[in-house]
A and B are shown apart, each in its own frame.
Chain A
Amino acid sequence: MNLTLTHLFAILPLIIVGITVVVVMLSAAWRRHHFLNATLTVIGLNLALASVVWVYFAGQGAVAPDLASSAVGFPTLVTPLVMIDGYALFYMALILVAALACSTLANAYLEGLDEHREEFYLLLLSSTMGAMLLVSSIHMVSLFLGLELMSVALYGMAAYTFKRRVSLESGIKYMVLSAVASSFLLFGMALLYAAYGTLEFASLGLRLVFEDSVGIWTLIGVGMMVIGLGFKLSIVPFHMWTPDVYEGAPAPVSAFLATVSKVAVFAVLVRFMIMSPTFDTKLHTVIAVLAALSMIVGNLLALGQTNLKRLLGYSSIAHLGYLLSAVVALRAGVTDGGGELSFTGQLVLETTGIYLATYVLTTLGAFGVVTLVSSPSRGQDVAQLHHFRGLFWRRPYLAVILTFMMLSLAGIPMTAGFIGKFYVLALNMNEELWWLAGTVVLGSAIGLYYYLRVMVSLYLAEPGEIQRDAAHDWGQRSGGVMVLIAALLTLLFGIYPQPLIDLVQAASPVGY
């Protein structure tokens, strides 16, 4: 191992988050002070975000130490495990933004707890670090390491308000089922290692390319990895945990789960499929079927749902289904004859980036409103639809924001969600995946119903009894500001998506 300063600079975001974990741990051990630790967390995350930007710009033009052949960007291979390239940095930034948003939301939420508020930030930071490792991993080991670091911290976060039975239950459910999924993932990796003797994505890809027909063990290995990752993405039929965990976990944790973990896992899945392509129609047909099932089943399950957190959970199943069609489009690889990035490859990367970014923004906004209404935490979260009845007459701006987020989730024009959905449809059309495109349309049509239902309830007459409500000055609190920014960005990218598209185009993975 030959670590130079260049390498250390490249993984600066990871290092900063790691240091923040230690600092927050020491600070909490020294003195329990909620505000101080929250501030330290936010500072650390902001520094990490700044370092991501710095690495991107400072690295540009610098000669890549290990991959001298690549001319685009500044890919830096740090040990065989971690690759810092535009792709990794973009998703790191996305993860950091989402983590920041979640910690601001958690700050207000945790005020309602009597004790042990500070450890939450430790878990959040650790989980964020795992997610960041995940998006920069090009090796099975770092993949598994990142996934577990992220997930284990998440179990704790889901069960954080353990005095509530549902919260504890959701943590345990998530942990046990995750263990099952991880075993599938590990088994898949093992099968691939047995077949090829390597754990690196790139060399695995090289071996796969030279194989005439894909062997049965390879197929099962890749399939099992898809199953393991599919669980984290809550792809049907591995989705069963989603609504229970979303509902039981504290609202900021649900937001974290729905954004950070989904982004990280999906990003690494796409990278794996790009670097180690398996050109087998069977595999891609199976993935396409899983995608279609997710779209339909997710939306159908949400139809009668009256709990907003569960509803968002079901909706995330459907959304990941839409997004999974991007993986199906990888069936022919991302390069054209000359080794350059093909149009399809470009489109897949853009779709993934834009859809995830818009989905993160929208989900943060939606969960943000739920959190604001539920903060500070007192027993159950306020997530039943009847709690939100007539919200418009009490907190008009919050209601408008939630309306807007629902529109974005439904993919109505003028919202960021529309741009994402447009990309998914364009990709399906380009790949001539007609029936999948049809399923996207069908799923969206079903989805519109329950998104509209939420909107309608916001504007109904207020119920007589007194409800818990967001604080009057929510707009001046950090969480409220975050929700406002999310809403404004959703609107901005809905009307003028070019900056986002430019950003995503700059974030291509190594070699392309």
Chain B
Amino acid sequence: MNLLFLVTLFPLLGAVLLACFRRMPVNLAAIIGVGSMGLAALTTAWLGLAFFAADQTPYVQHLWNWVAVGDFRLGFDYRLDGLSLTMLGVITGVGFLIHLFASWYMREDLKDQTGYLYTRFFCYMNLFVFSMLVLVLGDNLMLMFLGWEGVGLCSYLLIGYYYRGEANAWAAFKAFIITRVGDVFLAIGMFLIWVQFGTLDIQTILIEAPSVLAEGALLTEVTALMLLGGAVGKSAQLPLQTWLADAMAGPTPVSALIHAATMVTAGVYLIARTHVLFELAPFTLELVGVIGMVTLLVAGFSALAQTDIKRVLAYSTMSQIGYMFLALGVQAYDAAIFHLMIHAFFKALLFLASGSVIIACHHEQNIFKMGGLAKQIPLAYACFLVGGAALAALPIVTAGFYSKDEILWLSFASGHTVLWLGALFGAFMTSVYTFRMIFVVFHGKANLHAHAPQGIAHHLPLVVLMVLSTFVGALITPPLAGVLPELEIDAGHATQIAVEVLAAIVAIVGVGIAAGLFLGRRRLMTSLVESEQGGRVWRFLHSAFGFDTLYDRLFVKPYLLVARLHRVDWIDALINLFPGLAKLANYGLSASQNGQMRGYAATFVLGATIVVAALVLG
């Protein structure tokens, strides 16, 4: 257990090495970048064994005192318990596979985009993993916030990895600025917690919360709301969701690691970690569920009208995290974390497979320009089938079925009927847009010639993730007992089966509808889109409900207007008065320094006379 620090040390070392020796050979950079992750994953496996051998007792490792000023004390403490171990497993396990895949992918990608450093990519990736690990291991909110900001930074750096493309730079700005809005809320939340608790230590807060915070009081609600603000920003939920789709400007492994499998789940982790605060704030807790439901519906509709393969996946990520938020809202915390883990598996699989498709199709990302790829790249096809099936939660064989249906069942059983209906409709949408994508990309007429990718670094991650996305992955049970409370359910077993069967039917029907609409010549869809009303709806969905335009009108334009109004800054003019005065005084005084000694002597005597006079007369 005392090896806990190693799990963060390896990626950090990797990042430092890669940053220091920027011109190292590509192979060496790959070995360092992927190897550090492999070591971290091995450490995690060892930690997992030790954790279960020690009967799942939480373990805290105090590394050093971080801040000690008066009563304000912060330790650099890592905490290993069921929740952080689960996150650890996802981050290092899935992270390792993605790194491995990336070592292949970036080599291919950089053939067309010359002039970018291979080492820089892996440096950022390793640094990202380090930050994410600090985020989930940190035993106090400040340390968690360090990781939180670290992942934000790395996300920015990686989205803008191809910094010569202007759109990429803007996308990176957008992600950074919008998540910053959330971070400000989180910081305010931390201030509020500090004021009320006098500590930022998470465990102390959780234990003392019932006695410190009044349930349902305004301040309690505001505190929880601020934390939610942070979570919403990082996890790309309404209303701070607009950055995620643009974040796809980064290389595909980045999208897989950061914008699907790990970072965007930080908000889910935050709420699960501080769930006691949310339970004391019923309104906010309810809001968590509602935000989740609305986001999953909005994202589901938006995904239907996307043409870029990565944007489809981005919206699906948003909607799946919506499910997790919904689960958190109905206090089904372990269902949320379970779905987080399963989602990491299949979403990483889908993103990596899409990366494979993109490389195979010579950097084509528009799904309508693909088509008929099933025969040309069978491995990617298989990945998409398995991953898509898990995303759509097709019954029995897929992992997604077990995790998502648990959320559906628990939302039903806990009496949140509206949320349940929304989630059920979302499940239907999910299978429609998922299989729309699969049918469009892999079936029908072949529009271009794809070459099948080769190499163990390409195949291995895909195959492993494929296995994990089937029911095999669902056999892993996160050891969350004792960390997160279980939801008490009094509904019967028969009802549960009925609800699950209903969900299964919905998913299958979705596939059927997708098949009807998008297999073959797609005449119905074409005519729908080409009609005036249909086109308008399509554009509305394509722009993801026009949130970008809305925010542009609501925030960006007024902000720029205010900035323009302040171009002539009267405060500045006022302040500039002082330099002017100083300059004037300088001219006056400099004139006295004329080099004439008699003047100097006279000044001396005059000054002396005044001094003596002041002493005598004053």
CB pair A224 B612 closer than 8 Å: yes
Main secondary structure on chain A at its contact with chain B? Answer: helix
- List the 7 shortest-distance A-B pairs measured between CB atoms, nearest first: A237-B607, A240-B600, A303-B586, A223-B615, A300-B585, A219-B615, A282-B618
Taking CB atoms, residues of chain B closer than 8 Å to A181 are 604
**What distance in Å separates the Cβ of B451 from its nearest Cβ neighbour in chain A?**
51
**0/1 string, B569-599, CB within 8 A of A gives 1:** 0000000000100110111011011010101
The minimal Cβ–Cβ distance linking B612 to chain A, given in whole angstroms, is 6
Q: Which residues of B contact A180 (CB under 8 A)?
A: 601, 604-605
- Besides the known contacts A226-B611, A243-B593, 16 further A-B residue pairs in the complex with CB atoms under 8 A apart: A176-B601, A177-B604, A180-B605, A219-B616, A224-B612, A227-B607, A240-B592, A241-B600, A244-B593, A282-B614, A285-B618, A286-B614, A300-B585, A300-B589, A301-B586, A303-B586
A53 at the interface (CB under 8 A from B): no
Cα of A236 to Cα of B612 in the assembled complex, Å = 15
Interface status of B606 (Cβ within 8 A of chain A): yes
Beta-carbon contacts under 8 Å, B444-501 to A: none
Residue B608 at the chain A interface, CB threshold 8 Å: yes
Residues of B within 8 A of A226 (CB): 611
**Chain A 291-315 near chain B by CB (<8 Å), digits 1 or 0:** 0000001001101100000000000
| A216 lies within 8 A of chain B by Cβ | yes
- Chain B residues with CB below 8 A from A300, complex form: 582, 585-586, 589
Chain A residues in 8 Å Cβ range of B590: 301, 304
Q: How far is the CA of A236 from the CA of B606 in the complex (A)?
A: 12
B436 to chain A, nearest CB (A): 58
A23 within 8 A of partner (CB):
no
Instruction: Known contacts A177-B600, A240-B592; decide if A220 and B612 are in contact (CB<8 Å).
Output: yes
Q: How far is the CB of A33 from chain B (nearest CB, A)?
A: 38
Q: Tell me whether A414 is interfacial, beta carbon within 8 Å.
A: no
Contact between A286 and B604 (Cβ–Cβ < 8 Å)?
no
B605 → A minimal CB distance (Å): 7
Smallest CB gap from B584: residue in A = A300
Instruction: Kindly state the separation between the CA atoms of A382 and B587 in the bound complex, as whole angstroms.
Output: 24
A238 within 8 A of partner (CB)? yes
Q: Mark A157-194, 1 if CB is under 8 A from B, else 0.
A: 00000000000000011001100110010000000000
**A313's closest neighbor in chain B, by CB?**
B593
State the CA gap A304–B582 with chains docked (Å): 10
Task: State whether the Cβ of B57 lies closer than 8 Å to any Cβ in chain A.
Answer: no
Inter-chain contact B616/A220, CB cutoff 8 Å: yes
Distance in angstroms between the alpha carbons of A282 and B612 in the assembled complex = 11
Q: A240 contacts which of B585, B604, B612 (Cβ < 8 Å)?
A: B604
Q: Is the CB of B611 within 8 A of A227?
A: yes
A231 within 8 Å of B by Cβ? yes
Q: Are B618 and A446 in contact (CB under 8 A)?
A: no
Asked if B603 is an interface residue, CB under 8 A from chain A, the answer is yes
Complex interface: chain A residues within 8 A of B615 (CB): 219-220, 223, 282-283, 286
Residues of chain B contacted by A223 (CB below 8 angstroms): 611-612, 615
Q: Which residues of B contact A282 (CB under 8 A)?
A: 614-615, 618
Answer whether A304 and B595 are a contact pair too, CB < 8 Å, given A240-B600, A240-B603, A286-B611: no
What is the chain A residue whose CB lies nearest that of B587?
A304
**In the complex, A241 Cα to B585 Cα: how many Å?**
19
A165, chain B: closest CB distance, angstroms: 12
- On chain A, the residues within 8 Å of B597 by CB distance are 172-173, 176-177
Give Cα A395 to B614, complex, Å: 51
| Contact assessment for A237 and B589 in the assembled complex, using a CB-CB cutoff below 8 Å | no
Interface residues of B (CB under 8 A from A): 579, 582-583, 585-587, 589-590, 592-593, 595, 597, 599-601, 603-608, 610-612, 614-616, 618
Q: Which residues of the other chain, A, contact B593 by a CB distance below 8 angstroms?
A: 240, 243-244, 301
Contacts of B610 in A (CB 8 A): 237
Q: What are 11 A-B interface contacts by the 8 Å CB criterion?
A: A173-B600, A180-B604, A220-B612, A220-B615, A223-B611, A223-B615, A231-B604, A297-B589, A303-B583, A303-B586, A304-B583
Q: How far is the CB of A218 from chain B (nearest CB, A)?
A: 10
Could you tell me the distance in whole angstroms from the C-beta of A263 to the nearest C-beta in chain B?
23
Give, as a whole number of angstroms, the nearest-CB distance from B595 to chain A: 6
A241 to B600, CA, bound (A): 7
Q: Contacts A223-B611, A244-B595, A303-B582 given: A238-B604 contact, CB under 8 Å?
A: yes
- Closest A residue to B583 by CB, please name it: A303
* Chain B binding surface SS class: helix
Measured CB to CB, the closest approach of chain B to A142, in angstroms, equals 24
Q: Knowing A219-B615, A224-B612 touch, does A301 contact B589 (C-beta < 8 A)?
A: yes
Q: Note all chain B residues with C-beta closer than 8 A to A304.
A: 583, 586-587, 590
Contacts of A237 in B (CB 8 A): 603-604, 606-607, 610
Is A488 on the interface with B (CB-CB < 8 A)?
no
The answer, yes or no, to whether A433 is at the interface (CB within 8 Å) is no
In the complex, A251 Cα to B614 Cα: how many Å? 38
Of all chain A residues, the one with the shortest Cβ separation from B614 is A286
Report Cα–Cα, A282/B611, bound state, in Å.
Answer: 10
Q: Is A492 an interface residue (CB 8 A)?
A: no
With a cutoff of 8 Å between Cβ atoms, the chain A residues found around residue B611 in the complex are 223, 226-227, 286, 290
Instruction: Look across to chain A and name the residue whose beta carbon is closest to the beta carbon of B598.
Output: A176
From 268 to 299 in chain A, residues with beta carbon under 8 angstroms from any chain B beta carbon are 282-283, 285-286, 290, 297
Interface set, chain A 361-407, CB cutoff 8 A to B: none
CB contacts (< 8 Å) of B582 on chain A: these are 300, 303, 446, 449
Q: Which residue of B lies closest to A240 (CB)?
A: B600
CB distance from A308 to the nearest CB of B (A): 16
Interface centre among A173, A181, A216 (most CB of B within 10 A): A173
A172 to B600, CA, bound (A): 13
Closest A residue to B608 by beta carbon equals: A227
Tell me which residues across on chain A come within 8 A of B604, comparing CB atoms. Answer: 177, 180-181, 231, 237-238, 240
Which residues from chain B contact A283 at a C-beta distance below 8 Å? 615
Interfacial chain A residues near B585, Cβ < 8 Å: 300
User: Smallest Cβ distance from B594 to chain A, in angstroms?
Assistant: 10
CA A449 – CA B586 in complex, angstroms?
13
Using CB atoms, name the residue of chain A closest to B602.
A240
Complex Cα gap A366–B568 (Å): 40
A240 and B605 CA atoms in complex are apart in Å by: 12
Q: Which residues of A contact B600 (CB under 8 A)?
A: 173, 177, 240-241
Q: Which of A322-350 contact B (CB under 8 A)?
A: none
A184 touches B608 (CB 8 A): yes
| B583 contacts across to A, CB distance below 8 A | 303-304
Chain B min CB distance to A286 (Å): 5
Residues of A211-236 contacting chain B, CB below 8 A: 216, 219-220, 223-224, 226-227, 231, 236
Q: Which residues of B contact A240 (CB under 8 A)?
A: 592-593, 599-600, 603-604
Point out the residues of chain A lying under 8 angstroms from B616, CB to CB.
216, 219-220
Q: With A and B bound together, what is the CA distance between A364 and B604 in angstroms?
A: 28
Complex Cα distance, B595 from A226, in Å, reads 25
> Chain A contacts of B605 at CB under 8 A?
180
Q: How far is the CA of A219 from the CA of B597 in the complex (A)?
A: 29
Docked CA distance A446–B586 (Å): 11
Cα of A283 to Cα of B595 in the assembled complex, Å: 31
Give residues of chain A (400-451) contacting chain B, Cβ–Cβ below 8 Å: 446, 449
Tell me which residues across on chain B come within 8 A of A220, comparing CB atoms. 612, 615-616
- CA distance in complex: A132, B599 (Å): 33
| Cα–Cα, bound, A177→B604 (Å) | 9
Distance (Å) between the CB of A294 and the closest chain B CB?
A: 11
CA distance A304 to B587 in the complex (A): 8
Q: Which residues of B contact A290 (CB under 8 A)?
A: 611
Chain A residues whose CB sits within 8 angstroms of the CB of B587 once the complex forms: 304
Task: Considering the complex, give the chain A residue whose CB is closest to the CB of B585.
Answer: A300
Q: How far is the CB of A288 from chain B (nearest CB, A)?
A: 12
Q: For A285, what are the chain B residues with a Cβ–Cβ distance below 8 Å?
A: 618
Rounded to whole Å, the gap between the CB of B587 and the closest CB of chain A is 8
Q: Find chain A residues with CB under 8 A from B589 CB.
A: 297, 300-301
Instruction: Give the most central of B592, B600, B610: most A CB within 10 Å.
Output: B600
Q: Which residue of B lies closest to A222 (CB)?
A: B615
Closest to B605 in A: A180
User: In the complex, what residue of chain B is closest to A223 when comparing beta carbons?
Assistant: B615
Among B589, B599, B601, B615, residue most surrounded by chain A Cβ atoms (within 10 Å): B615
